[in-house]
Amino acid sequence: MNYGIIDLGSNSLRLEIFTYENHKLTNIFSKREVVGLASYLLPEGYLSDLGIDSVIRVVKDFMEVSQSYKLEKLFMIATATIREARNQNEILTRIKTASGMKVELLDEEKEGYYGYKGVSLNHKIDRGLIVDIGGGSTELSLVTDGKLKDSVSLNLGSLNTYITYVKEIFPTTHEVERISSAVVAALKLHKVDKVDVKVAYGIGGTVQASLVLLQNFYQKKFDKLTRQNIQDLISKIDPTKKKTYLSIIRMIPERIHTIMPGLIILETLMNFFNIEEIIVSKSGIREGYLLEKIQK
């Protein structure tokens, strides 16, 4: 049986289609559209009409594509940007009216839970932190004794952090310090304990893009990111060199402006929690959400 999910993220909108057999999900199709939804948030906190229209256009395209897969069911979820928008009810209503589909708006707790469930499909976690750096937020989920103990959502992602703190394409030294300070301040605001976790599990666009960069720079396969890896990537992204722009444009062109803010968030978290390595998970929120719905 085939199932699909549309994920209305803060940076990218995604369509993923899976087969479900023998209690396992196998991805058979993926499509991504970089919309940069967080950039359509107006200063007053409302998502603009242009932003809503962009979502509707992509959703209609995804629905048309999915028809050829004869799905048992197509789900649609939304996270940080729509969750934080002051006109979220209008957004959800307009999407449903235009597409006929209901959007499930995930709160922070559910987003953390589905991320944990998704990572658990491929990794046995006894103790560790799940880190999900999206475009509009960063989800942190602490696992202790094999169980999800606590989740927290920081209102800082790679895209909205870029919009707030960075003037040009890449952040200056001062802007890097401001981003790092904002992450630490958000952790303190949420009263996050400064615990040593050593090993973390990474999901989301920033972690995946960091792995792509690392593999290209060193010309070999990696399945994890060490603190030294992240520091090396940050030092290699030199805005004064043409090579930096060409490398990123070749590998992750849609993230040329968000990769550095994402890396700074990641490095700050690794320092705060004394994380030695981040294992990059191939499954995350979408897989966790689908499995939960199918098995019900």
What is the structure's pLDDT at 296?
80
What pLDDT score does 217 carry?
A: 86
pLDDT in the model for residue 243: 87
Domains of the chain, first to last: 2-105 (3.30.420.40), 123-280 (3.30.420.150)
Cα Dmax for the chain: 53
Report, as ranges of residue numbers, the positions in the chain whose pLDDT lies below 70.
Answer: none
Length of the chain: 296
What is the C-alpha separation between 140 and 152, in angstroms, rounded?
5
| pTM passes above 0.75 | yes
Per the DSSP assignment, residues forming a β-bridge with 17 are 4, 29
d(CA 144, CA 128): 7
Alpha helices in the chain (DSSP H): 49-66, 80-84, 88-99, 108-120, 158-165, 173-189, 205-218, 227-236, 242-251, 259-273, 285-295
If one counts every other C-beta atom within 10 angstroms of the C-beta of residue 180, the result is 17
Give me the pLDDT at residue 8, please: 98
Q: Give the pLDDT confidence score for residue 195 in this predicted structure.
A: 85
Cβ partners under 8 Å of residue 292, min gap 6: 114, 117
